[in-house]
Amino acid sequence: MNFPPRLIVLLKAAERITVLTGAGVSAESGVPTFRDAQTGLWAEFKPEELATPSAFRRNPRLVWEWYAWRRKLVAEAKPNAAHIALIEMEKRIPDFTLITQNVDDLHRRAGSVNVIELHGNITRTKCFDENLLMTTWADTGEVPPRCPRCGGLLRPDVVWFEEAMPEEETARAFGRSANCDVFLCIGTSSVVYPAASLPFEALENGAIVVEINTEPTQLTGKADYVLSGPAGILLPELIRTVWSDGGF
């Protein structure tokens, strides 16, 4: 793969790199993206129709079972070469931040350390009423299960559409996007806000923005560099080219 020589020079010189990932990074682990058509029981629903508090209030069983199905799928998935490449990058960059929209826990399972989970994590469960994390509950067969503290319904610890963003993570994400030398936007359709604003925050603050995607997005025309192709192929290649010290 021949990368733009200027990009290689910029990455070699970069002290501060911020990365934003979306579902495309997990696609090569077999985790369907939000753009992929839903299948089976969920074929008639769009994710945006299930990942909302109103959908949960309307049909808690359906939403809980959708997440249970995704949790099982994710548990059986393995981090792919893109997740691993980001760990290699983290080792080589003094000031590295990984921001993810993904709730699949694959960056953490791969070994990434400094991860900002903007939209929560599907492996965690919380009480819908108290918003408190729960690790154990009685299995009475009721779906969704109930909070052992208040009897409210349990739900996944993810940020649904129309729900407020986690303040601390969002502030950190904007701060790291506004203060980096290079911003890599990988495997995201850049349609969900406020996450989709992050690459523009980087651009406005003078960072070099690189998009890695298999398709064009609303960022493509604005990014400084656009690498078209699967993250699982391009990212390892990019790391090998920039840090050709072998070690990777």
Q: Is 83 an annotated catalytic residue? A: no
Which of 6, 12, 35, 61 touches ligand BV8 by CB under 6 A?
35
* Beta-bridge mates of residue 228: 213
Q: Measured between alpha carbons, how far is 154 from 113 in angstroms, rounded to an integer?
A: 28
Nearest CA to 96 among 111, 114, 83? 114
Which residue of the set 107, 119, 126, 176 is catalytic? 119
Residue of 79, 187, 199, 236 that binds ligand BV8 (CB under 6 A): 187
Bridging pattern class, strands 182-186 and 16-21: parallel
Min dist. Cβ of residue 244 to ligand BV8 (A): 23
Q: Given candidates 17, 195, 226, 239, which one binds ligand BV8 under the rule CB under 6 A?
A: 195
The reply on whether position 74 binds ligand BV8 by CB under 6 A is no
Site string for ligand BV8, 84-123 (x = CB under 6 A): -----------------x-x---------------x----
SS percent in the chain: helix, strand, coil, step 5: 40, 20, 45
For residue 19, the SS3 value is strand
Q: Using an 8 Å Cβ cutoff, are 29 and 77 in contact?
A: yes
Interface with ligand BV8 by CB under 6 A: which residues? 22-24, 27-28, 33-35, 48, 51, 101, 103, 119, 158-165, 187-189, 191-195, 212-215, 217, 230-232
